[in-house]
């Protein structure tokens, strides 16, 4: 019976790597079937956002988005890609460093086909936090006619891992 279970889990593992995952359940099944080979950063994360709006160096608004996005992080070709739980790219990449558990990240903005200039070091097990400024070209598109020179928007992201739990 153990051999049959092992063969079934291996089949799911090989099958999962070749298909697009499109639901929270499919990501959970993937992480369960690959639990012995995934890295600590891989899994399902809740991402909450706070944005600070500046005109030049003067803060004029803070917006907190209490409903956290759920994002899956999976290793792909030597880096870690992020996905919405419907399978689309979340446009955030994590890159391994020489220090175990420490990653660099970069955001991709498809609207302007650029990566963020800022990178952050992330190393807190089941929690990550980083901050970056949206690129000016991105803000010009998002704000349209209401964009004013000197506008700066700082995005503060807090990630909290919900599945699977990291073993300490």
- Nearby residues of 134 by Cβ (< 8 Å), 6 or more positions away: 109, 142, 153, 154, 155
Q: How far apart are the first and last CA of the chain?
A: 31
From residue 8, alpha-carbon distances to 5, 12, 18, 36, 164 in Å are 5, 6, 16, 15, 20
Residues 57-80 pLDDT 10s:
999 999 999 889 999 999 999 899
Q: Is it the case that residue 91 has pLDDT exceeding 90? A: yes
Residues 108-163 pLDDT 10s:
999 999 988 776 777 677 888 888 999 999 999 999 999 999 999 999 999 999 99
Q: Is it the case that residue 9 has pLDDT exceeding 80? A: no
Domain at 41-163: CATH code:
2.40.128
């Amino acid at each position: 019976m153990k051999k049959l279970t092992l063969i079934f889990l291996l089949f799911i593992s090989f099958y999962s790597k070749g298909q697009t995952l499109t639901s929270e359940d499919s990501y959970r099944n993937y992480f369960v079937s690959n639990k012995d080979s995934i890295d600590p950063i891989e899994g399902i994360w809740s991402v909450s956002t706070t944005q600070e709006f500046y005109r030049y160096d003067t803060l004029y608004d803070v917006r907190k988005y209490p409903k956290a996005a759920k994002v899956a992080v999976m290793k792909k070709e030597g880096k870690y890609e992020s996905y919405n739980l419907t399978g689309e790219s979340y446009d955030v990449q994590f890159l391994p460093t020489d220090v175990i558990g420490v990653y660099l990240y970069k955001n991709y903005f498809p609207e302007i086909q650029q990566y963020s200039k800022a990178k952050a070091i992330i190393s807190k097990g089941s929690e990550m936090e980083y901050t970056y400024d949206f690129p000016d070209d991105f803000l010009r598109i998002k704000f349209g006619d209401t964009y004013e020179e000197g506008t700066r928007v700082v995005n503060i992201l807090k990630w909290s891992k919900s599945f699977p739990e990291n073993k300490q």
